[in-house]
Amino acid sequence: MSLLRQKEYPKGEFTLAFLGYGPESENPALELTYNWGKDSYEVGTGFGHIAINVEDVYKAVEMAKSKGAQVIREAGPMSAGTTIVGFLKDPDGYEIELLSKKF
């Protein structure tokens, strides 16, 4: 596994790193988030959410809503950037981020 790409978000005070085994257009990638200024995380509470790339976030959120999914953030641009994202909650309460498929 190697670092595929990294992006800093000064406005949001975080960095995203994407790890994988090949091009993201052909392989899954693991997204890691580093929150600036956070000294440590308590073990067991560091999981935030899982993210899935989709072709059209707006359509994916609407489809999820039509199937009864709980939407916790409507589709729209990130506050710290321009990537389109939306958030859902699964039946167990875990968050799922849908984000625009651009690399």
Find the catalytic residue in 13, 42, 55, 97: 97
Contact indicator for 55, 102 with CB cutoff of 8 Å: no
* 3-class SS letters over the chain: CEEEEEEEECCCCEEEEEEECCCCCCCCEEEEEEECCCCCCCCCCCCCEEEEEECCHHHHHHHHHHCCCEEEEEEEECCCCCCEEEEEECCCCCEEEEEECCC
The verdict on whether 97 is a catalytic residue reads yes
Q: Which residues are the active-site residues?
A: 97
